[in-house]
Homo-oligomer: A and B are copies of this chain.
């Protein structure tokens, strides 16, 4: 894993985003252990505190859970992961809708354009 940090978004939030994508795309499976705070910090060349904050953020969202002395793990509750996927998708879709409308697309032409893209990709 490696993240190209966007200077305008908090690093800890970008770390969260990165893990969420890995979890949603099943690169990280339910119950799987995340790399330790220190490992991740070293890998991303950031301070362990920053990674710790990211892990706590994910814990709070119940997407992960941490066991003191053992590590941080992806939740085994599929409902939560499903909800996470939907939330991420919704965010992308909303951005797209705004972008396309800004470009002059109507609801119908937008769906047409997506359908066409799906066929071609």
Beta-carbon contact of B117 and A90 below 8 Å: yes
**Identical subunits present:** 4
Beta-carbon contact of B111 and A97 below 8 Å: no
Q: Given A24-B103, A102-B25, do A111 and B113 touch, yes or no (CB 8 Å)?
A: no
Size of chain A's interface in residues, with CB distance under 8 A?
A: 35
A37 to chain B, nearest CB (A): 17
Query: A69 in the interface, Cβ–Cβ < 8 Å?
Result: no
CA distance A96 to B118 in the complex (A): 10
Complex contacts, A111 vs chain B, CB 8 Å: 111, 114-115, 118
Beta-carbon contact of A121 and B99 below 8 Å: no
Complex contacts, A104 vs chain B, CB 8 Å: 24-26, 85
